[in-house]
Amino acid sequence: MAAENVERGLVDQWRGILATHARTVCELDRELHPHGLGASDFEVLDLLTTGTAADGGASFRVQEISDRVHLSQSALSRLIGRLEKEGLVARGMCAEDRRGVRVCATPKGRRLHGEVLPLQRAVLARMLAGDPAASGG
């Protein structure tokens, strides 16, 4: 009986995490859509513009981005292709591995990121503050 209660608690907790994630992503998509971005688009731009390089951004290998934004290689490749077509990111050869591709934010991508960053952070604050009423729960 006690083991079943613990298991039920874990399942309930897991489902709560999934529900919070789904609500937050939907809210991010809604807020970012007027700017031509979705939640995943923003995550890639955020990674590229707040990276570790001293110039305010960084270039990352596609695999490194995939590991950080939790998208499959193919989904990330399509997303990067869209962002590149919109002039928000640029792809280049990887100096340390000529088979690899590095991605960096363009000046246009950095500007757009700066414009929408307060929106994204406000959504996170609202949705993750722990107030179920604020997040629609």
pLDDT in tens, 81-125: 999 999 999 988 766 666 678 899 999 999 999 999 999 999 999
Question: In the predicted model, is pLDDT for residue 20 greater than 90?
Answer: yes
Sorted by where each starts, the structural domains of the chain and their CATH numbers stand as 2-127 (1.10.10.10)
pTM of the predicted protein model? 0.81
Distance between start and end Cα atoms, the chain: 29
Encoded amino acid at 47, one letter: L
The angle at the Cα of 71, spanning 96 to 66, to the nearest 5 degrees, equals 15
User: So what's the pLDDT on residue 57?
Assistant: 56
Residues linked to residue 93 through DSSP beta bridges, in sequence order: 101
Instruction: Return d(Cα 57, Cα 6) in angstroms, integer.
Output: 44
d(CA 81, CA 90) in angstroms, rounded, equals 9
